[in-house]
Amino acid sequence: FRQAPANRLIIRIVTTKAAKHFFDASQLELPVYDDADEWSMWGGRGDPVLHIELRKWADAMLIAPLDANSLAKIATGLCDNLLTSVVRAWDPRKTLYFAPAMNTYMWENPLTYKHMETLKGLLGFREIPPVEKELICGDKGYGAMAPPAMIASIIASDVKNKFAFLSVS
Q: Indicate whether 118 belongs to any domain.
A: yes
- Counting the structural domains of the chain, the total is 1
Mean per-residue pLDDT, 50-60: 95
Q: pTM here? A: 0.88
Confirm whether 138 is domain-assigned.
Answer: yes
- At 15, is the secondary structure helix, strand, or coil? coil
Please give the DSSP secondary-structure letter assigned to residue 27: G
Domain region containing 79: 13-168
Q: Is residue 1 part of a domain?
A: no
d(CA 28, CA 22): 13
Do the domain assignments include residue 6?
no
79 an active-site residue?
Answer: no
- The whole-angstrom separation of Cα 54 and Cα 94 is 13
What's the rounded Cα separation, in Å, for the pair 20 and 17?
6
Point out the catalytic residue in the list 6, 30, 137, 166: 137
CA distance linking residue 149 with residue 37, whole number of Å? 29
For residue 34, the domain's CATH number is 3.40.50.1950
Residue 7, exposed/middle/buried by CB under 10 A (0-12, 13-18, 19+)?
exposed
User: What tens digit of pLDDT does each residue of 96-138 get?
Assistant: 999 999 999 999 999 999 999 999 999 999 999 999 999 988 9
Q: Is residue 51 part of a domain?
A: yes
Give pLDDT, residue 133.
95
